[in-house]
Each structure stands twice: as C-alpha cells, then as structure tokens.
Copies of this chain bind each other. A is one copy, B any other.
Amino acid sequence: MTTLTDCLQNLVIANRILAHEGVVDAFGHVSMRHPDNPERYLLSHSRAPELITEDDLIEFTLDGEAFDLRDRIPYGERMIHGAIYEARAEVQAVIHNHSYELIPFGSTGVPLRPMTHTYSVIGAQIDTWDIRDKFGETDHLVATMEQGRDLAHCLGDRPVALMKRHGCVVAGRNLKEAVMTAVYLQTNARIQLQAMQIGTPDFLTPVEVEKSTACLFSPLGLDRAWEYWCFRAGYGSQ
C-alpha cells in the first residue's frame, strides 16, 4: 500500500526528474492524488520543480483550496490538477508543462503521433485545447475551475492534451506512468519534427499503441526507465 510518506518522497523525485530531463523549467508542475483521500491532491507551492523539497508540498482540495499554505503563494494554475482528478477517478498523477519541443505542434496544428513503440504511451490521439475558444483573449492561465474543467473535457479519457500557445497536460494511473508519458511526449515531438523535415513520418497504429503501451507500463519497461531517470537526477538507483 502506498503511504503518504512514499508519495511525498516520490513526488519530489518526479519534480527533479522532470527538471533534469528538460520537461519543466522555471514553470510546470506535477501532482499526486492524496493516497488516503481521493478528494485531495498533493502539489508544491509556486516554485521551480528543480528546487522542490518535501517541505514545499502542500495538500489541496480538488477546488484548489490549500491547507497549511502559510505565507507561500500557490501555483496560479493548480486548477488544472483538481479538474482532472475530479473528472477521472483512475488518475493518480497529473503533470502540466511547457516543454519547448511541444509548442511547435500546438502552434501549427500539426498532429503529434507516436513515432515508435517506446513513445506509444502518449496515446494514439492527442487533441489540442485552446483557451481562446471559450474564454477569449486571456493571460492563458488556467486560473479557474471552469477553465480547468473545460481543459479536462478536451483531455477526455486520454493520457495527453496539448494546450495551444501554452504547453500540455499529462494524466497517469500512477506517478511513474505520468512521468514516462511526459518525458516521451517531449522526445516524440523532437523526433517527429525532425522526421517531417526530410519526409512523411510513419506512425504506430492504434492496435500497436495499445500493445506497446502495455509493455512500456509493465515492470520491464517502467521500472527500468524510472531507475534510469532517478540515477540521472542524482538519486542513485531507487
């Protein structure tokens, strides 16, 4: 059984991994659903992921109300997390990031699709949410639950949605799956952009995506990758 202590430790590691792999920079965040209370989630206050420690992690209600915030500022876009946990009972981890490699796809409308079996975890279909459609000209921040729910609706039951002129959201059944999906989403984008410069890429079929994802999310795939990312982020083998 996953304890709160395990969750907090792994959430710090996930922050560091995402920073080390270049998925997040000063911005972007990762949360976990509270292991003892599905109506709450764990997320840092407003701080760059690379610097986060367990002391920075705070408990939030799905509506984004913080416990024990003290004088710290919460992330302005925490509503992304609550809205997805609210809509998807099976989701245990959510990542929001602005990975540089993704922006060209949301910006141009070119669909992002899995280039290899390794990147199958991004899913066979990725939709793009545009805050302009319902909310007009804003600062692009998902600052209200209404906006968060609109984004969650676009995400549907898929692992990834792009956010136009902004970044993406990733939802996972557990923290490791969410981290793998976010890292490989970035790598897939980089490779697909390169392939498009010399020809027409060939993608996995939906059946191949399903079969490959099962393999990547098995211990053979997921534990091997997690150990590797931990090592690179400075944690030795875990």
Contact = CB atoms under 8 A, between A and B. Distances in A.
A116 B98 contact: yes
B48 A224 contact: yes
Contacts of A51: 227-228, 231, 237
A87 interface: no
A165 interface: yes
B228 A25 contact: yes
Contacts of A110: 198-199
B227 A47 contact: yes
Contact of A117 (B101, B117, B165): B165
Interface stretch (A2-10, A59-67, A145-153, A203-211): A203-211
A197 to B, nearest CB: 6
Contacts of A215: 76, 139, 141
Contacts of A201: 104, 107-108
Contacts of A139: 117, 208, 211-212, 214-215
A89 interface: no
A137 interface: yes
Contact of A116 (B166, B196, B224): B166
Interface string A43-79: 0001110110000000000000000000001001000
Interface in A163-201: 164-167, 187, 190-191, 193-201
A231 B50 contact: yes
Contacts of A117: 139-141, 165-166
Given A108-B202, A115-B165, 19 more contacts: A26-B224, A47-B224, A48-B224, A51-B231, A73-B219, A73-B220, A76-B215, A100-B187, A104-B199, A108-B201, A109-B199, A116-B140, A116-B167, A117-B166, A139-B212, A139-B215, A140-B208, A165-B203, A165-B204
| 5 residue pairs, one from A and one from B, having the closest CB atoms | A108-B199, A48-B228, A117-B140, A104-B195, A26-B225
